[in-house]
Amino acid sequence: MIDGRTSHAAVVRAFSGQRPEDPETRPVWFMRQAGRSLPEYRATRAGVAMLDACLDPALASEITLQPVRRHGVDAGIFFSDIVVPLRLAGVAVDIVPGTGPVFEHPVRTADDVARLAPLDPDALAPVTEGVALTVAELGSTPLLGFAGAPFTLASYLVEGGPSKDQLRARTLMHADPGTWQALMDWCADVTGAFLRAQVLAGTSAVQLFDSWAGALSLADYEAHVAPASRRALSHVADLDVPVVHFGTGTGELLVAMRDVGADVVGVDHRIPLDEANRRLGGRTPLQGNIDPAYLDAPWPVLEAHVRDVIRRGGDAPAHVLNLGHGVPPATDPEVLTRIVRVAHGEDVRA
C-alpha cells in the first residue's frame, strides 16, 4: 500500500533492495531526528508533556516535519512513542523526564495480564489524524511509521519502567511461560494495530523497534520472542509496505529478527555493516549504523567514520544510512545536516 507519490523515493527504493545510481551516495534519515537536539522542537514542546504532544495530531505532525525541513533527510518518521498504544489501550503509563516510561501498575501475574484490555481501533484516531496531516505536507517524501516490538513493550510492563538487564521480564519468561506468552500476544496485537493504523493513514514503510532484545540469548529470542514479533508484523503483511526491524545489541539475533517478517534489518553501532551483511547472507537491505558517540567528535573524525559506514554498507543489496541508535539530545543539529550532505554526495567544505 505504498503511496504512489513516494514509490520512487530513495528510501523506499533502498528498502526494496534497489541501489542508488551513484554508489557513493545513500538515502539517509536519523532515529530520534525529531527531538531535543532541535531548538525548534524544544520551543514547540515547551510546557507540553511528551505523551500529550504525541496525541496532539497537529503538534505531532509539526514536530515530525521539523527535521525534514532543517536537514533535508530522505524520510520523516512519525513523532510518537512506543508506549502510546499502551496508553491508548488503558494502561496507566507516563514518561518521566530523565527516566523514561513509568507504569503505575506493573504486569507480573496471570491476573495482571487478564486485566489488560484490547486496543479499541477508534482510540487510534489522534495517531491516524497526525499521520494524515504529515503525509499531506511531505508530498513525495516518505513518512515512516514505527512501533515497539512485543518484547520491549512486555519488558517495560513487567519491570514497571526502564531496566538495565530486563531481569524480571526474563524471569517471567521462564518461570511462568503461559503468562509470558499471553502477555506477548497482547503486546503483539496492540503494537500490530498501531503499525497498521499508521500504514492505512499513509506511511510508506514501518520500523519495529526492539530496544531491549539485546538482553536475550538467541535461543530465548527464537523460542519466547520471535513468535510474538512475527504476530505483530502479520498485522501489516497484507499492506505491501517495507518493514524494518531494529534492535540494540542484537548482532547475534540479526537473522532471527529478519526472519520474523522484516524486509530490512537495522544494525546498531556495535557490529560493522559488512559483517552484518555477511551474517545475513548478503540478501537483506541494511540500515545504519553511525556510532552516535562520533557526533561530538571533530568533523574530520566524524566524516571519516561516516564514509567508512557508507563503504561497508555498499556490500549489502541496498543501504539506508542512519545512526546505530538515536540522536543524543546534546547533538549540534548542524552536524546532522552535514552528514546528510555527505550521504547525498555534496561538497561538505562549502
Write out the catalytic residue numbers.
Answer: 32, 36, 45, 81, 156
Could you tell me the end-to-end alpha-carbon distance of the chain, in angstroms, rounded to an integer?
A: 40
Query: Per the structure block, which three cell numbers stand in for 78?
Result: 512519525
Rounded to 5°, angle at Cα 323 from 318 and 329: 155
Residue with C-alpha cell 497482547?
186
* Nearest residue to 221 via CA among 260, 188, 193: 260
Which residues have C-beta within 8 Å of that of residue 127, sequence separation ≥ 6?
A: 55, 57, 78, 80, 84, 88, 194, 197, 198, 201
- Contact between 126 and 55 under an 8 Å Cβ cutoff? The reply is yes
- Contact between 68 and 142 under an 8 Å Cβ cutoff? The reply is no
| H helical segments located in the chain | 10-15, 39-45, 50-54, 57-71, 84-88, 110-114, 125-138, 150-159, 167-175, 177-201, 218-224, 226-234, 254-258, 273-279, 299-313, 333-343
Is residue 127 classed exposed, middle or buried when 0-12, 13-18 and 19+ CB atoms within 10 A define those classes? buried
Query: Per the structure block, which three cell numbers stand in for 22?
Result: 551513484
